[in-house]
Structure 1
Amino acid sequence: MSGIKKLAGQTLWYGVPTIVARFMGYLMNMALPFLFAQPAVTADITQVYAMIPFLNILFTYGMETAYFKFSQDKDKHQLFNTISIALFTTSLVFVALLYFNKESIARWANLEAHPEYILYMIGILLFDTLSTLPFAKLRQENRPRRYAFVRLIGILLNVSIVFLFLGFLPGYVSNHPESPLRLIQQLDIGIGWYLIGNLLGSILTFLLLVKELRGFEWNFDKDLFKEVMQYSYPLIIVGLGGMVNDVLSRLIYQHVVDLPEAEAKHELGIFANVYRLAVLITIFIQAFRMAAEPYFFNQSKEEGAQKGYARVMKFFVLACCFMFLLIGLNLDFLKWIITLKSAAWGEGIYIVPLLAMGNIFLGIYYNLSIWYKLTGKNLYGAYITLIGAVITILLNILLIPVLHYLGAAIATFACYLVMMILSYYWGQKYYPVPYAKKKLISYLVLVSLIVGLHRLILMAYSPLWFSLLTGLLLLAGFVYFVSKVEEKEWKKVRRQT
Structure 2
Amino acid sequence: MGLLKKLAGQSAIYGVSSILGKSINFLLVPLYTGYLPKEDLGSFTILYALIAFLNVVFTFGMETTFFRFATGKGLSPEKVYQNAQSLVTLVAILLGASLYVSAAPLSLLFDFPGKGHLFQWAAMILTIDALMAIPFAKLRLEGRSVTFASVKLINIFLNVGFNVLFIVIAFHIVSGDILPSLQPWVSQWYQPNWGVDYILLSNVLANFLILPLVWKLVGKWKFELKASLLNPMWHYAMPLLFMGLAGVTNEVFSRGLFEFALPEGFYPNLTSREAGGVFGANFKLAIIMSLIIQAFKYAGEPFFFQQAENKNNPQLFARVMHWFIIFCTVLMVGVAVNLDIIGSLFFQAEGYAIALPMVPLLLMGYLLLGVYYNLSIWFKITDQTQYSFYITFTGAVVTVVIILTLVPVFGFIGGALSTLGCYLTMVIFCYVTGQKHYPIPYQTKKDVTYLCLAFLFSYGGFWLDTGNTVLDFLLHNAIFLVFVAFIFYMEKKELYSLIKSIIKPKHAN
Superposition TM-score, scaled by structure 2 size: 0.93
Say if 2:16 is the partner of 1:11: no
Q: How big is the shift at 1:67?
A: 0.7
Cα distance in 2, alignment partners of residues 393 and 456 from structure 1: 28
For 1:367, the equivalent position in structure 2 comes to 374
Deviation per residue, 1:166-221 (Å, 9 max, x gap): 12222233135552233233565334221111111111221111224533223321
Cα distance in 2, alignment partners of residues 495 and 63 from structure 1: 40
For 1:116, the equivalent position in structure 2 comes to 117
Aligned length: 493
Q: How big is the shift at 1:146?
A: 0.6
Q: How big is the shift at 1:100?
A: 2.3
- Counting only pairs closer than 5 Å after superposition, residues 102-181 of structure 1 correspond to structure 2 as 102-173=103-174, 174-175=176-177, 176-179=179-182, 180-181=185-186
- Distance verdict in 2 for CA 1:275–1:245, change over 3 Å: same
For 2:306, the equivalent position in structure 1 comes to 298
- Counting only pairs closer than 5 Å after superposition, residues 279-294 of structure 1 correspond to structure 2 as 279-294=287-302
Q: Is the 8 A contact 1:131 1:205 kept in 2?
A: no
Deviates more, 1:228-237 or 1:317-326: 317-326
Deviation per residue, 1:57-100 (Å, 9 max, x gap): 11001111011101122111211111111011111110122122
Q: Is the 8 A contact 2:99 2:123 kept in 1?
A: yes
Structure 1: gaps of 5 or more residues: none
Cα distance in 2, alignment partners of residues 336 and 212 from structure 1: 41
Cα distance in 1, alignment partners of residues 139 and 336 from structure 2: 35
Q: How big is the shift at 1:101?
A: 1.7
Specify the code of the residue in structure 1 equivalent to 2:221: F
Say if 2:378 is the partner of 1:379: no
For 1:449, the equivalent position in structure 2 comes to 456
- Counting only pairs closer than 5 Å after superposition, residues 421-432 of structure 1 correspond to structure 2 as 421-432=428-439
Q: Is the 8 A contact 2:70 2:76 kept in 1?
A: yes
Match of 2:485 among 470, 480, 483: 480
Q: Is the 8 A contact 2:325 2:447 kept in 1?
A: yes
Q: How big is the shift at 1:352?
A: 0.6
Q: How big is the shift at 1:492?
A: 2.5
Structure 2: gaps of 5 or more residues: 503-509
- Counting only pairs closer than 5 Å after superposition, residues 320-469 of structure 1 correspond to structure 2 as 320-339=328-347, 341-455=348-462, 457-458=464-465, 461-469=466-474
Q: How big is the shift at 1:401?
A: 2.0
Deviates more, 1:98-107 or 1:274-283: 98-107
Q: How big is the shift at 1:127?
A: 0.8
Cα distance in 2, alignment partners of residues 190 and 309 from structure 1: 45
Q: How big is the shift at 1:113?
A: 4.3
Cα distance in 1, alignment partners of residues 97 and 170 from structure 2: 35
Q: How big is the shift at 1:472?
A: 1.7
Specify the code of the residue in structure 2 equivalent to 1:17: S
Q: How big is the shift at 1:337?
A: 2.3
- Distance verdict in 2 for CA 1:286–1:456, change over 3 Å: closer
Tell me the secondary structure at the aligned position of residue 317 of structure 1: helix
- Distance verdict in 2 for CA 1:64–1:394, change over 3 Å: same
Q: Is the 8 A contact 1:330 1:467 kept in 2?
A: no
For 2:32, the equivalent position in structure 1 comes to 32
Calculate percent identity across the aligned residue pairs.
31
Cα distance in 2, alignment partners of residues 455 and 291 from structure 1: 32
Q: Is the 8 A contact 1:166 1:191 kept in 2?
A: no
Q: Is the 8 A contact 1:328 1:451 kept in 2?
A: yes
For 2:61, the equivalent position in structure 1 comes to 62
Deviation per residue, 1:101-142 (Å, 9 max, x gap): 212221222222422111111111111110011111100000
- Counting only pairs closer than 5 Å after superposition, residues 182-261 of structure 1 correspond to structure 2 as 182-186=187-191, 188-259=193-264
Cα distance in 1, alignment partners of residues 155 and 369 from structure 2: 27
Cα distance in 2, alignment partners of residues 248 and 440 from structure 1: 29
RMSD of aligned residue pairs (Cα, Å): 1.8
Q: Is the 8 A contact 1:39 1:345 kept in 2?
A: no
Deviation per residue, 1:25-70 (Å, 9 max, x gap): 221012222213x422211121111011111111001111011101
Q: Is the 8 A contact 2:332 2:363 kept in 1?
A: yes
Deviates more, 1:26-35 or 1:13-22: 13-22
